[in-house]
Amino acid sequence: MARVFVSYQQEDRDRAEPIVEALKRAGVEVWWDPSIQPGAEFSEEITTALADAAAVLVLWSAHSVGSRWVKDEAERGAERRVLVPARIDAVQPPMGFRQFQTLDLSSWNGDADNPAFQRLLATLRTLLAGIGRAQPMRARASGEVGIGVAVFGGRYVLVKVAGETAKCVVYKSWDRKEQRYVALKVPRTMRVAQAAAQVRHEARSALGVNHPNVCGILEARVSLIKQLSAWFRPRTVGQAGGETEVFGGRMQEIGERISAFLVMPFLEGRTLDVEAFDRRGQPIAVKSAVDILAQACAGLQHIHDRGIVFRDVKLENIMLVPAGGTHRLAVVFDFDMALPQGSVPKGGLATGDMVAGTPQFVSPEQVRGGPLDHRSDIYQLGLVAYEVLTGSLPFAGGTDQETMLARLTEHPVHPKERRGDLPDGLATTILKCLEPEPAARFPSMKDLEVALRGSLVDE
Ligand SMILES: Nc1ncnc2c1ncn2[C@@H]1O[C@H](COP(=O)(O)OP(=O)(O)O)[C@@H](O)[C@H]1O
Ligand SMILES: [Mg+2]
């Protein structure tokens, strides 16, 4: 069915509605969540509507740029090349969506003749007609088409962007030698020495890691990235299907540069910050959450056995990979912050410098500054467990400084106050991870894993 899926954040409902209504008046068929019939299975309906949509209109705003749901829906739209981003206030689209041209509806007054609205309508109609907006192939002489290809170190062919942050871009790539997909993590900096230092630092902690619940690093390289253009002459074969056969081709080098990058196994999944909540923002079932957390413990135990503190346990650094049936493998990745046990990282109250890491997910000893051991990761896993099981973090709100300092001075809100049906044993386990004194926590990830799994058996 040719219709437009509208992705927005609940707080923007009053801004979204006039857009939806104006589109409907212009004859566009729109699906948005108020279209759900009472009693229908909420998340299932959304998934189906999203998969069927001919266009995904995303309304970026100060509210929606922080929404996992809107970002996830935008990503699915982008994957299918049917994303139409618009902004309804002065906000910048989130990281990963800035390369898309964004329509500006921030000063739209509801007038159907407004140029910005007309542009939106035209874009949507192109997609609804099945013409498609994305044209990755550029036509050249005599019916040839060209595509850009980047080859890293003569071996890895870039396929697509798998994820990006302020510091790096991760590409899904094809390893020509081993004939498999890998992930390449490339620092954003153009300064080769800096990129190389970053990559070596990460590789030192992760090379040789070998555990199903940890994403190790296959190699760290400093080498040539070649930018190529390939030109082909496509020929249409098959009468009814109109399939295209590509034959005859030539390559042309259009640029090269040196960079450092990491090669990792490719994880085909989604991160826990997306997967831990359903589309209404409700936490997933306790049983699945405990299984995921216990797997993360097993992975982190392996890292600790190698004398490394991971230092960056958070939802964004745990990938869930479908592993047959409803089972999902939880994989800890991103050794960017990892350090040898007992190291004294820079930053913290002791030195007055900035604390490295995500303010919501730091341990008290990271805030104070001073030596860290594996029990800092246990604290961080407690925060992850708290959020995944209750839907919110114990110390959050206020400024980053307040968020960090709260864990030195305040007790976490009891998890059962946030989610009444949480098993008692599980609440106790979470609170034990969150003890301010490392000695009062679980002595090891193995012990925590056992406690997590045990807290369900007792119910
Ligand atoms: N091995 C991998 N396989 C697939 N995707 C990955 C892999 N490693 C990272 N990514 C994607 O890239 C994003 C950023 O990677 P990450 O290592 O967390 O970067 P940073 O160190 O900047 O936090 C991740 O959120 C994820 O979506
Ligand atoms: Mg990360």
Continuous segment of H or E residues that includes residue 261: strand 243-265
d(CA 328, CA 292): 8
> Ligand 1 pocket test: which of 171, 333, 336 has the largest number of ligand atoms within 8 Å of its C-beta?
333
Ligand nearest the Cα atom of residue 170: 1
Continuous segment of H or E residues that includes residue 322: strand 318-322
Report the nearest atom of ligand 1 relative to the CA of 168: 22
> Ligand 1 pocket test: which of 315, 334, 361 has the largest number of ligand atoms within 8 Å of its C-beta?
334
Over residues 403-421, the pLDDT tens digits come to: 888 898 888 999 999 999 9
Nearest CA to ligand 1 atom 17: 334
> Ligand 1 pocket test: which of 156, 160, 170 has the largest number of ligand atoms within 8 Å of its C-beta?
170
Sheet strands (E) in 124-218 = 138-139, 145-152, 156-164, 168-175, 180-187
Rounded distance from Cα 295 to ligand 2 centre (Å)? 18
Report the nearest atom of ligand 1 relative to the CA of 165: 22
Ligand nearest the Cα atom of residue 159: 1
Work out whether strand 318-322 and strand 328-332 pair parallel, antiparallel, or are unpaired. antiparallel
Distances (CA, A) of 331 to 122, 261, 264, 392: 43, 21, 12, 22
Dihedral pair phi/psi, residue 133, rounded to 5°: -100, -40
Q: What token pair was written down for 206? A: 């992760």
Dihedral pair phi/psi, residue 347, rounded to 5°: 100, 165
Ligand nearest the Cα atom of residue 314: 2
In the predicted model, residues of the chain with pLDDT beneath 70 are 1, 38-41, 130-147, 231-251, 458-459
Nearest CA to ligand 1 atom 18: 334
Rounded distance from Cα 163 to ligand 1 centre (Å)? 6
Q: What's the chain's Rg over C-alpha atoms?
A: 24
Ligand nearest the Cα atom of residue 165: 1
Max alpha carbon distance in the chain (Å)?
A: 74
Over residues 186-242, the pLDDT tens digits come to: 998 878 899 999 999 999 999 879 999 999 999 999 988 887 777 666 665 555 555
* Closest to 333 in 3D by CA, of 197, 217, 198, 166: 217
**b vs e for 373-410, b when ≥16 Cβ sit within 10 Å of the residue's Cβ?**
ebbbbbbbbbbbbbbbbbeebbbeeeeeeebbbbbeee
Determine the Cα angle at 437 with ends 354 and 350, to 5°. 30
Judge whether 422 and 389 are in contact, CB under 8 Å. Answer: yes
d(CA 197, CA 28): 52
Rounded distance from Cα 266 to ligand 1 centre (Å)? 10
Q: Which pLDDT does position 379 carry in this prediction?
A: 97
Q: Which residues pair with 219 in a beta bridge?
A: 263
Q: Which pLDDT does position 249 carry in this prediction?
A: 65
Judge whether 445 and 304 are in contact, CB under 8 Å. Answer: yes
Report the nearest atom of ligand 1 relative to the CA of 172: 4
Q: Go through the domains of the chain in sequence order and give each one's CATH number.
A: 4-129 (3.40.50.10140), 145-265 (3.30.200.20), 270-454 (1.10.510.10)
DSSP, collapsed to helix, strand or coil, labels residue 3 as coil
Q: What token pair was written down for 87? A: 């902004």
Report the nearest atom of ligand 1 relative to the CA of 269: 4
Distances (CA, A) of 277 to 9, 170, 282, 430: 15, 24, 5, 18
d(CA 46, CA 22): 22
Rounded distance from Cα 334 to ligand 2 centre (Å)? 5
> Ligand 1 pocket test: which of 185, 311, 317 has the largest number of ligand atoms within 8 Å of its C-beta?
185
Nearest CA to ligand 1 atom 16: 334
Q: Which residues pair with 338 in a beta bridge?
A: none
Q: What token pair was written down for 338? A: 């990892």
Q: Which pLDDT does position 363 carry in this prediction?
A: 93
The residues, ordered by sequence, that sit 6+ positions from 114 with a Cβ below 8 Å of its Cβ are 108
User: In Å, how far from its chain's centre is CA 92?
Assistant: 18
User: In Å, how far from its chain's centre is CA 238?
Assistant: 40
Q: Which pLDDT does position 195 carry in this prediction?
A: 92
Continuous segment of H or E residues that includes residue 86: strand 83-87
The residues, ordered by sequence, that sit 6+ positions from 142 with a Cβ below 8 Å of its Cβ are 233
Nearest CA to ligand 1 atom 9: 170
Distances (CA, A) of 216 to 229, 299, 333: 32, 11, 7
Q: Is the dihedral of CA 15, 20, 23, 24 positive or negative?
A: negative
> Ligand 1 pocket test: which of 68, 95, 319 has the largest number of ligand atoms within 8 Å of its C-beta?
319
d(CA 125, CA 132): 10
Rounded distance from Cα 314 to ligand 2 centre (Å)? 8
Rounded distance from Cα 164 to ligand 1 centre (Å)? 7
d(CA 40, CA 287): 24
> Please, how many CA atoms are within 13 Å of residue 448, restricted to the half-sphere of its CB?
33
Rounded distance from Cα 202 to ligand 1 centre (Å)? 13
Report the nearest atom of ligand 1 relative to the CA of 267: 3
Report the nearest atom of ligand 1 relative to the CA of 265: 1
Q: What token pair was written down for 235? A: 């020929």
Q: Which pLDDT does position 135 carry in this prediction?
A: 37
Ligand 1: list residues with CB < 6 Å. 162-163, 165, 167-168, 170, 183, 185, 215, 264, 266-267, 271, 316-317, 333-334, 336
Q: What token pair was written down for 97? A: 């969506």
Dihedral pair phi/psi, residue 181, rounded to 5°: -80, 145
Nearest CA to ligand 1 atom 12: 163
Q: What token pair was written down for 45? A: 């309906």
